[in-house]
Structures are given as structure tokens and as C-alpha cells.
């Protein structure tokens, strides 16, 4: 953990006293801890305490610029390998969810490109409040992570969920985060995502229901794991993860060419795209008008990208495929695995609630040449991707 740079944010709640232990333990692990306190936090614990424990100055006031050669909140934002806010009150969660920056902590967080983790601590009714939960979900959808609060006796007298996680648990989370972050260090991963579209005429096309969310979540998780990521993406309404090399394609032939042109440069290929199996034999140059009651379109097969990769992949490359099925999931997944020389295949039943296209969750089973390896229940595609990438990094 040496040389890891942590920006520790402390907000105004009674649990702020635990931040001293968190700062101390992280510093003892060899991390460079820089603390930002809100003015409310200083009512519960003194800046001198944090300065003494971390051996670094504590930032409080956005306008307290002591070094003319740098802007402090930008310097802190750029400094961080990880931003940890513990405790995170409902107030700071609401600010971040709505892009507000009115103090040193919120301004720094909005300026950073580092991963952000919040450790909430508040009254049980505040934590359960629908506005707070909506804000937390909004942040989670944008990649912010959480260290869940515990249940028990709260300082306000209530009993329920809202206690700040214990310092040991928070420090263990940080250690685990950096361990996972390096599971693909120095490796290059190619991921396909989204649908492909096959033109019929200048107006119409054939496609499928894929949103690209799973592939993009995998790309984000791979980047966090330290990989160089090549993301070959069909047309989607998603923002690519920062740091990925994005190759935008439309049809299956374009995706085929992009994947094979980079195959020699990668250690792992994850085929998460929903590629059109067929395309119209003839693409009309003008929009077809409604002259008849029926319209027959002759389709021809598209190239099978996974099959081509399976034939060409090196011994030290991994090929992982996806199988979206509606019945006989295990049988079709195993057939696809063997036919296309895949190392692993991740299969799901798109008719299962929470596991279909365009939703934010998924539930999958992983198969290898030895059969079923693991089953993952319904969870967010973000969490599922992190678990899959960690496991795949270990296989590689």
C-alpha cells in the first residue's frame, strides 16, 4: 500500500471521531493521506488531530490559498488515487448528486478523476429517506462506491441502519480496492459492447435490444483493475469510460474487422456485444415505399467474430463470450463454448426478471470446459462486472 495517495474527506457528523482512527491506520500502512474537513466536521474533531496523525496539513477553507504556485483543491484532486469520505452525511451526498460545489470538499471531489467511495453515517430515518436513497443511487449509477453503514444503537438514540462502518472495515475495503485495481496491471483487454445494426435501406435497419450497459460496465471494471482497454462499441446511448480506447462501429462486418485487427495486441477478449447473426443480402439505395402488403427480405449470414477469434487466439490469450438465451441456457452455452473454442462463457436468461436487455442489473452463470464454474444472482451490472473482472484477472 506504500505510495498510495488517499484524499480523506470528513463531514459533520458525530461519527467524525472515527476518522482519526481511519487516518491513523491508513498512514501506518504507508499511504499518503491528505485530509479535507468541512467546517461542520471541525465541531466534532480538531484539524490538529488529523494533521498530527497524517503528518500533512488539513484543508478546510476553499479560499485559504497559501501557495501561489498552485490551486489547492485542484492539487488535491489531481493528487488522489482514491477519494474516501468517512463519514459521508446526507448533505455531502446530496451536494455531489446534484453537482454542487460550495466548500473545499465538494469542490475537490467534483474536480477529481479518481475513484470515489463514500461511507455514509446518519440517522436511520435520514438514511432511509427516499430523497437520500435517490441521491445515492444517482451517484452509484455514475460509478461512486459505498461502504455500507452498520446497524445498531445510533448516537441520536434510535436503533437501525446508519452507523459508520468500523475503521478496520473501511481500511480493509481500501486495501482490497487497491489489490483488485492491479489484478490486470499491464494487460490489454478488448471488449465488444452494444448491438450491431444492419442497413435495409437509408431509413431502416435490423438490430436487437442490447443497450451496451454490460459491456461498458466491464470496460470500466477492467480500467479500475489496471488494464489497457480497447472498447469496440456498436451504437449506444452511453458515455464511454474515461481511459478506454473506443472504436465505434455499426455493422457486424465492421466489428469483425476491428476485433481481428487488434487481436495480436491483447491478452483477453470479452465478447459482450450482441452481434447481428444475419444482414440483408441487398441494401437499397433509396427508401422503399409501401407499394405492397408484404415485403420479403433475403438475409445472409454475418461473420462469426467469436469463432474467428477462437481459431486464431494464442495459447496465452483468454476468450470470454456471452450467451443471451431464452431457454436451455446451459445446453446452448456449453455448445457455444466448445464450438467457438472459448475459455469461458457467461450465460443468462434474458426472460428472467432483472437479467434482460436495457436494465441496470443482471444474473449470470459462468461455464468453462469443466462445466459450471459459478453462478451470480441478480445484482447491478457494475458490481457484477467488478466481480467478473477480478475473477478473470486471476485466471489470466
What are the backbone angles phi and psi of residue 322, rounded to the nearest 5°? -120, 145
Catalytic site residues? 156
> For residues 255 and 277, what is the distance between their CA atoms, to the nearest angstrom?
12
Amino acid at each position: 500500500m506504500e505510495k498510495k495517495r488517499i484524499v480523506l474527506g470528513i463531514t459533520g457528523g458525530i461519527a467524525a471521531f472515527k476518522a482519526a482512527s481511519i487516518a491513523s491506520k491508513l498512514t501506518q500502512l504507508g499511504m499518503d493521506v491528505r485530509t479535507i474537513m468541512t467546517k461542520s466536521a471541525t465541531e466534532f474533531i480538531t484539524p490538529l488531530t488529523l494533521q498530527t496523525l497524517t503528518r500533512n496539513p488539513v484543508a478546510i477553507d476553499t479560499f485559504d490559498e497559501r501557495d501561489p504556485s498552485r490551486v489547492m483543491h485542484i492539487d488535491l484532486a489531481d493528487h488522489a488515487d482514491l477519494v474516501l469520505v468517512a463519514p459521508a452525511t446526507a448533505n455531502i451526498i446530496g451536494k455531489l448528486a446534484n453537482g454542487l460545489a460550495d466548500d473545499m470538499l465538494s469542490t475537490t471531489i467534483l474536480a477529481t478523476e479518481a475513484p470515489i467511495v463514500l461511507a455514509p453515517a446518519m440517522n436511520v430515518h435520514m438514511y432511509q429517506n427516499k430523497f437520500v436513497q435517490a441521491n445515492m443511487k444517482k451517484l452509484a449509477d455514475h460509478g461512486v462506491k459505498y461502504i455500507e453503514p452498520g446497524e445498531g444503537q445510533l448516537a441520536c438514540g434510535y436503533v437501525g441502519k446508519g452507523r459508520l462502518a468500523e475503521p478496520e472495515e473501511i481500511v480493509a475495503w481500501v486495501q482490497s480496492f487497491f489489490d483488485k485495481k492491479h489484478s490486470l496491471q499491464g494487460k490489454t483487454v478488448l471488449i465488444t459492447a452494444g448491438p450491431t445494426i444492419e442497413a435495409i435501406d437509408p431509413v431502416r435497419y435490423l438490430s436487437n435490444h442490447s443497450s451496451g450497459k454490460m459491456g461498458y460496465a466491464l470496460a470500466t471494471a477492467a480500467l479500475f483493475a489496471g488494464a489497457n482497454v480497447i472498447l469496440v462499441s456498436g451504437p449506444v446511448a452511453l458515455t464511454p469510460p474515461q481511459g478506454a480506447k473506443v472504436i465505434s462501429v455499426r455493422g457486424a462486418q465492421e466489428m469483425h474487422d476491428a476485433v481481428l485487427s487488434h487481436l495480436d495486441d491483447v491478452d483477453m477478449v470479452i465478447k459482450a456485444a450482441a452481434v447481428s447473426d444475419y444482414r440483408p443480402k441487398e441494401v437499397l439505395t433509396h427508401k422503399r415505399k409501401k407499394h405492397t402488403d408484404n415485403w420479403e427480405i433475403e438475409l445472409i449470414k454475418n461473420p462469426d467474430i467469436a469463432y474467428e477469434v477462437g481459431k486464431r487466439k494464442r495459447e496465452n490469450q483468454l476468450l470470454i463470450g456471452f450467451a443471451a438465451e431464452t431457454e436451455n441456457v446451459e445446453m446452448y452455452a456449453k455448445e457455444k463454448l466448445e464450438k467457438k473454442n472459448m475459455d469461458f462463457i457467461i450465460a443468462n436468461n434474458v426472460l428472467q426478471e432483472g437479467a434482460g436487455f436495457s436494465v441496470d442489473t443482471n444474473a449470470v452463470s459462468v461455464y468453462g470446459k469443466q462445466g459450471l464454474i459459478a453462478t451470480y444472482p441478480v445484482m447491478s451490472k457494475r458490481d457484477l462486472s467488478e466481480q467478473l473482472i477480478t475473477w478473470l484477472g486471476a485466471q489470466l
